[in-house]
Amino acid sequence: MSRRAFLKQAAFVLGTSVSASLSAAVLKGITTESSARTLELSAELKNVITLLAERIMPKTDTPGALEAGVPDFINTIVVDWYTPDERNDFISGLEDMNQYCSQQFNCSLHEATSAQHDSVLTEFEKRALAIADDENQAIFAMFRELVVVGFFTSKAGATQALKHNHVAGQFVGDYPLSKVGKAWTPYY
């Protein structure tokens, strides 16, 4: 599967188009090895990204966001690929989530429990669903997009969470997923 085909599938899974900056990064073959960066996210923001990414894509019988390197992927996209406006929207959105957590639970996101993270994410998902304007994407939609694309473009996501079939047989369009156990990927 080509990167372009993957982005089409990711957009389908996310229920929206993938942002131009993220598409450009994936199509270019992004790596998380950073060059000399002039801008860097704060340690607190990186910690929040790590905690929330693991809540969206937790470790189960397959690797989670941490094992797949999703926090580093998000950092690279936000710092190296997002436009200044996208970066400001992303950081502002995380600050809004932190402020909401402070108001609801009297603690910051990096001090909150997993259940409190889930509550914050649920609230911001509801807010994202209320926004109809794709150009003014809500933080939850931006964050979920980064987590999903970061996970499934990682080696762990493509090789352990998805199942590869070298030689496809006949097409059976209504084959039950319960008999397969995983979705299919052409990545090795």
Please spell the DSSP secondary structure of 149-185, one letter per residue.
HHHHTSHHIIIIISEE-SS--S--TT--HHHH-S-EE
> Which residue matches tokens 């340690």?
43
pLDDT, average across residues 115-133: 85
pLDDT computed for residue 11 by the predictor: 46
More confident residue, 41 or 131: 41
pLDDT, average across residues 121-148: 80
Provide the token pair at 82. 């997002």
Report whether pLDDT(7) > 50: no
pLDDT, average across residues 182-187: 61
Q: Give the SS3 label for residue 164.
A: strand
Determine which of 30-34, 82-86, 135-139 has the lowest per-residue pLDDT on average.
30-34
pLDDT, average across residues 51-66: 92
In sign, the C-alpha dihedral spanning 96, 118, 86, 91 is positive
pLDDT, average across residues 162-185: 68
Residue 12 banded pLDDT, cuts 50, 70, 90: very low
Give the contacts of 103 (CB within 8 A, at least 6 positions apart). none
Output the CA torsion 111→123→21→39 (10° steps): -30
Q: In this structure, are residues 68 and 154 in contact, taking their beta carbons and an 8 Å threshold?
A: yes
Report whether pLDDT(37) > 70: no
pLDDT computed for residue 15 by the predictor: 47
pLDDT computed for residue 131 by the predictor: 73
Mean pLDDT, rounded, of the chain: 78
pLDDT computed for residue 185 by the predictor: 59
- What's the helix, strand, coil split of the chain in %, to 5? 60, 0, 40
Question: How far is the C-alpha of 119 from the C-alpha of 69, rounded, in Å?
Answer: 24
pLDDT, average across residues 22-44: 68
